[in-house]
Amino acid sequence: MYALRREVAVDHRTGGTHVDAVPAADTAVGPYGFDPFSVRKIDKLPLPVKSAPGFLVNAVLAPYMLAAMQAVDRGIAPESIDAALLAFGMPMGPIELIDTVGLDIAMAAGQQLAGGAQAPRCLQERVARQQLGKKTGQGFYTWSDGKPQKGPAPAAPAGLAEELVAPLIERTQRLVAEGIVADAELADAGVIFGTGFAPFTGGPLHWQGSRH
């Protein structure tokens, strides 16, 4: 059958979690190798995946968050980055997401999932100062009463949102090509349910295909 593994909830406003169903060594149950009705009883999307670092959601979020922090290193304000992705349709901007997850967690995840890319300077400096985000009250934002205190958002460069979601899309495409996720429709559903990726787009792969 399948072992059920739950991805980290990243959309804290909608509870956007799902369950990864990872093949185990014993006998499969049903056409998916697990009982999808049992998973639905716990109100999660059953997503069959092969075992791989980050599975689906964490694997696609890592390059997306990396790109957002690289934009900070280039001098773009965190508020502008978050505003651009909120306008794109994300439930939470990537910089606020990093603060919410924890900068130390983002650093550790990046070492495993970012393809060997060096940690952004803005992340290294804050982690060195123990400014780890929401849990310490200071990260990219100052946090008060559980909310980030954001300043005005200067106008973001044209095309910033598309630039930052591009690594997420590329990683999703690769996971499908490598057979970690069976097909594009399942990948799109998993990314929407797991990350809150702008649902009106139909998912990252559907959105990318509709643009060409």
> Looking at residue 54, what is its pLDDT?
55
Give the pLDDT mean for 151-162.
96
> Looking at residue 21, what is its pLDDT?
43
**CA angle 134-191-20, nearest 5°?**
90
Reply yes or no on whether the pLDDT at 14 is more than 80.
no
116/122 Cα distance (integer angstroms): 17
Contacts of 53-56 with CB under 8 Å at 24 or more apart are 53/112, 53/113, 54/109, 54/112, 54/113, 55/5, 55/7, 55/20, 55/22, 55/180, 56/7, 56/20, 56/172, 56/175, 56/180, 56/181, 56/187, 56/190, 56/191, 56/194
